[in-house]
Amino acid sequence: MSTQTVDPASFRSFADFYPFYLQEHSNATCRRLHFLGSTLGLVCLVMLFATGRPQYLLYGLLAGYGFAWIGHFAFEKNRPASFKRPLYSFMGDWRMYFDMWTGRVPF
């Protein structure tokens, strides 16, 4: 079943949005690419604070969104919800990241 017919902008709470978010990440490779991008983003954040070099912020954003968007376009074959719900999508990225670490979402 395609979830592309659901408009991400229609959700009024993150609790309602998150199940949709997980459906949009049903492909394991897409989830793994999100996980990799988020991990690299965190490494870049640490480097930003450790070195004070602002380019690490750019590197972190490129890693986080780059890997995620490759996962969506190449493997999941859908359009990232971040185009319509950027805050909920950002929150969903980190919730899924946590849920992957804790085993609630398959890696």
What token pair was written down for 89?
């999508």
Which pLDDT value is given to residue 46?
A: 98
Give the pLDDT of residue 3: 47
User: For residue 31, is pLDDT > 80?
Assistant: yes
- Lowest-pLDDT range, 31-40, 77-86, 97-106? 77-86
| Tokens 């946590």 -> residue | 98
List for the chain the helix, strand, coil content (%; round to 5): 75, 0, 25
Over 60: is that where the pLDDT of 4 sits?
no
pLDDT for 83 equals 86
